[in-house]
Copies of this chain bind each other. A is one copy, B any other.
Amino acid sequence: MLRYLPILDWGRHYDRRTLSADLLAALIVTIMLIPQSLAYAMLAGLPPVVGLYASILPLVAYAVFGTSRTLAVGPVAVVSLLTATAAGAVAIPGSGEYLVAAIALALLSGLILLAMGLFRLGFVANLLSHPVISGFITASGILIATSQLRHILGIDAGGHTMVELARSLVDGLPETNLPTLAVGAAATAFLFWARSRLRAALRHIGVPSCAAAMLARTGPVLAVALSILAVVLLDLGAAGVAVVGDVPQGLPPLALPPLDFGLWAALLPAALLISVIGFVESVSVAQTLAAKRRQSIRPDQELIGLGAANLAAAFSGGYPVTGGFARSVVNFDAGAETPAAGAYTAVGIAAASLFLTPLLYHLPVAVLAATIIVAVLSLVDIGALRRTWSYSRFDFAALAGTILVTLIRGVEAGILTGVAISVLLHLWRTSRPHVAVLGQVPGTAHFRNILRHDVISAPQVLSLRIDESLYFGNARAIEDVVQREVAARPEVREVVLNCAAVNGIDASALESLELIMHRLQDAGIRLHLSEVKGPVMDRLARTEFLRHLSGGVYLSHHEALADLAPDTTRDADARARPDLDPAQPFPERPARRPT
C-alpha cells in the first residue's frame, strides 16, 4: 500500500513547519502558473480556461501518487504542441470535437502511463536517447516560437512544419495589426529583459538575494497585469488588439470523458508519444531536484503519479499534463517540502478560476504569445550541435536528424526518425564485438590476447575470448570472426570460446552458435566452451545445443587447454616469467590519465 501511495509515508510526519513552507511555495507557484496555464492552453489550440482546469485536479492527484517532493505538474510547452498536432489531425481547432480530442488524449495518456507504471514499463523511455530529446526540444521550441509570431503580428496563420508556418506567415504579413505588434513586441522585450536582468536589477535596489530570485520569476504576471491596464486605458480592443475575452467563471466541470473508440484508436499513437515524452521530461526534472536534497524518486511510481494526474485532467475538462521544469524549480526554491504544496497550488488556481477570470477579459493574446516565445526559446540549445559533434559523430547524426525532420516534417516524424537513427547507430556500434585470440601467459593460469602479450598457444587449438554479451545484433559478426580465424589457420582442430565476458545469449545468438558448431564440424573441428557464467549455463542447459555440442564445457580456460593441448600447456605452466607479479591483473588496454 505504501508502495503505491507515497502520501501515506510523508503524510505521517506532516507538521506546522512543513505546512507553512508548503503554503508559501504554493502561493508563488500559483502566481506563476496562472499566465502559463492560459498561454499553454492557447498553444494547444484550446480555450484559455482549459489551461486553468488542467492545473487544478491533476495537481491534487499527483500530490497523492507522486514520489517527488517538489515536482509541479500542469500544462507544459512541448506536450501542448503535441496535443495541438494530434487534436488538429482529427478536428478543427476551436470546434467542440477538438476539445473532446484533447480530453481523450489526457484520458489515453493517463491510462498508458498507469499501465506502464503497473507493468514496470518505464524502460520504454530509454528509447529516447539524450540527443533525440535535446534535438526534439530545440526543434519544438523553434516551431512553437514561430507559430506564436502570428499572435504578435495579429494575423491569421498556422501550420505544423516550418515550411507551412513560414509560408502562411509571409502570406499574412501585409495584414499585420500595428497596435497588436506594438503590444506583443513590448511584452516580448520586457519578458526577455526580466528573464536575464530583473534579478540583478532587484538586488541592485536592495532586495534580498532570495526574494529577488522569486520576484524575477513574476515577469509574466507583471506583463499580464500591465497589458490588461494598457488595453483598458488606451481602449486597444477597438484598435484591433485581440484579447482573451470571456473566460468562464467557476470550478472545472466534472464529467466522464466521451467514450468514442474510433477516436481513441486514431489518437493512440499520439497519446503514446505524449506519455513517453512527458514522462521523460518530468522524471529528469524530478530526479535533479531530488538529488539536491539527497532524496530519491521511484520512476515506476512516477508513471502512476503522472497517470493519475492525466486521468484527473481527463475527468475535469483539462488536457495532457506533466511535470514542468521552470515551475518545479520555483516550487523548490520557494521551499516546498512535500507534494502537499502542489495540492495548495491547486486550491490557489481554483480560487483564481472562481474569482479572477473576469479580470482576464482584456488580456491581449499577443502577451500570452510573448510569454510562450520567451519560455520556449530558453529551451532551444543550438550549442548542443557543436558539443555533440566534437564528442561523437553518431550522436550528432541523431541530434541533427531529429532537429531537421521535426522542423521539416513535424513533431511525430521527428521523434520517430530520431529513435530510428539512435537505435540503428547503437546496433551498428555493438554489431562488431571485440574478440581476442588468446594464449597462455607462461607460468600462470592466465590467458591473454596474443596480439598484445607475450604468450604461448598450441597450433591445433584456437582460443577466442568474446568481450560482449551475444544477441541478435552481433551474432552474425561472431559467425564471421570464427569462420575467418579458422580459415586463416588450416592446422586448427579445436576451437575454445571463452565466455567469461558473456552475460547473456539470446535465441539468435544460440542459433549462431549452433551454426558455428555445425560449420566447424563439417570442417572436422570441435567446438568447446569455457568459463560460461551460471545463468547463461542454466539457459543453455535447457536446449539441444549442449547435447549436440561437438566438444566440452570447461570450468576454466586453463582446464580446457590442459585437456586439449596437454604438451603445450605443461610447457607453459613450467616457464615462469620473472617480470610478472602473479597477484596483479594484466590490464588489456591500460587506462591513461588525461594530460
**Does the CB pair A123–B427 fall under 8 Å?**
yes
Complex-state Cα separation, A476 to B287, whole angstroms: 10
Q: Which residues of A, 551-595, contact B by the 8 Å Cβ criterion? A: 553, 555-556, 582-585, 587, 589-594
Complex-state Cα separation, A225 to B292, whole angstroms: 83
Task: List the B side residues contacting A556 at CB < 8 Å.
Answer: 591
- Does chain B have a CB within 8 A of A264? no
**Does the CB pair B487–A583 fall under 8 Å?**
no
Contact with B along A417-452 (1 / 0, CB 8 A): 000001110111111101000000000111000000
Complex-state Cα separation, A506 to B504, whole angstroms: 22
Taking CB as reference atom, which chain B residue is nearest A429?
B504
**Does the CB pair A291–B394 fall under 8 Å?**
no
A36-44, A356-364, A507-515: which lies at the B interface? A507-515
**Does the CB pair B537–A591 fall under 8 Å?**
yes
**Does the CB pair B510–A391 fall under 8 Å?**
yes
- Does chain B have a CB within 8 A of A203? no
**Does the CB pair A541–B467 fall under 8 Å?**
no
- Does chain B have a CB within 8 A of A97? no
- Does chain B have a CB within 8 A of A472? yes
* Interface SS, A side: helix
Complex-state Cα separation, A473 to B125, whole angstroms: 9
Task: List the B side residues contacting A510 at CB < 8 Å.
Answer: 391
15 contacts between A and B (CB under 8 A): A127-B473, A128-B472, A129-B506, A287-B479, A287-B483, A290-B483, A294-B487, A294-B523, A296-B480, A387-B544, A395-B506, A395-B508, A430-B469, A531-B587, A534-B592
Complex-state Cα separation, A81 to B556, whole angstroms: 49
Contact with B along A132-161 (1 / 0, CB 8 A): 000000000000000000000000000000
Residues of A within 8 A of B (CB): 123-131, 283-284, 287-288, 290-296, 299, 387-388, 390-392, 394-395, 399, 422-424, 426-432, 434, 444-446, 467-469, 471-477, 479-480, 483-484, 486-487, 490, 499, 501, 503-504, 506-508, 510-512, 515, 518-520, 522-523, 530-535, 537, 539-544, 546, 553, 555-556, 582-585, 587, 589-594
Taking CB as reference atom, which chain B residue is nearest A582?
B583
Task: List the B side residues contacting A432 at CB < 8 Å.
Answer: 123
Taking CB as reference atom, which chain B residue is nearest A549?
B594
Taking CB as reference atom, which chain B residue is nearest A297?
B483
Task: List the B side residues contacting A476 at CB < 8 Å.
Answer: 125-126, 283, 299
- How far apart are A227's CB and chain B's nearest CB, in angstroms? 38
Task: List the B side residues contacting A503 at CB < 8 Å.
Answer: 434, 467-468
Task: List the B side residues contacting A484 at CB < 8 Å.
Answer: 296
Query: Would A394 and B506 be within 8 Å (CB), given that A290-B483, A291-B523, A583-B445 are in contact?
Result: yes
Complex-state Cα separation, A41 to B522, whole angstroms: 35
Complex-state Cα separation, A515 to B296, whole angstroms: 14
**Does the CB pair B591–A472 fall under 8 Å?**
no
Taking CB as reference atom, which chain B residue is nearest A501?
B501
Taking CB as reference atom, which chain B residue is nearest A595?
B541
- How far apart are A552's CB and chain B's nearest CB, in angstroms? 8
Complex-state Cα separation, A571 to B523, whole angstroms: 56
**Does the CB pair B534–A589 fall under 8 Å?**
yes
Task: List the B side residues contacting A391 at CB < 8 Å.
Answer: 507, 510, 539, 542-543
**Does the CB pair A395–B507 fall under 8 Å?**
yes
Complex-state Cα separation, A434 to B502, whole angstroms: 12
**Does the CB pair A591–B531 fall under 8 Å?**
yes
**Does the CB pair B472–A593 fall under 8 Å?**
no
**Does the CB pair A515–B288 fall under 8 Å?**
yes
Complex-state Cα separation, A504 to B392, whole angstroms: 11
Task: List the B side residues contacting A444 at CB < 8 Å.
Answer: 583
Query: Would A592 and B294 be within 8 Å (CB), given that A287-B479, A508-B395, A583-B582 are in contact?
Result: no
**Does the CB pair B296–A472 fall under 8 Å?**
no
Complex-state Cα separation, A261 to B292, whole angstroms: 56
**Does the CB pair A483–B594 fall under 8 Å?**
no
Taking CB as reference atom, which chain B residue is nearest A537?
B592
Query: Would A507 and B591 be within 8 Å (CB), given that A291-B483, A422-B472, A543-B391 are in contact?
Result: no
Complex-state Cα separation, A390 to B538, whole angstroms: 12
Question: A123-B427, A299-B480, A553-B591 are known contacts; what are 13 more A-B pairs with Cβ within 8 Å?
Answer: A127-B427, A287-B515, A288-B515, A288-B519, A292-B519, A292-B522, A391-B543, A395-B506, A429-B504, A444-B583, A532-B592, A534-B589, A555-B592
Complex-state Cα separation, A422 to B294, whole angstroms: 37
Task: List the B side residues contacting A507 at CB < 8 Å.
Answer: 129-131, 388, 391-392, 395, 399
- How far apart are A43's CB and chain B's nearest CB, in angstroms? 27
Query: Would A594 and B537 be within 8 Å (CB), given that A129-B507, A484-B296, A504-B429 are in contact?
Result: yes
**Does the CB pair A589–B506 fall under 8 Å?**
no
Complex-state Cα separation, A525 to B537, whole angstroms: 40
Task: List the B side residues contacting A469 at CB < 8 Å.
Answer: 430
**Does the CB pair A291–B594 fall under 8 Å?**
no
Tell which of B131, B292, B472, B501 touches A130, judged by Cβ atoms closer than 8 Å.
B472
- How far apart are A433's CB and chain B's nearest CB, in angstroms? 9
Complex-state Cα separation, A520 to B424, whole angstroms: 33
Task: List the B side residues contacting A534 at CB < 8 Å.
Answer: 589-592
Task: List the B side residues contacting A430 at CB < 8 Å.
Answer: 469
Complex-state Cα separation, A394 to B509, whole angstroms: 13
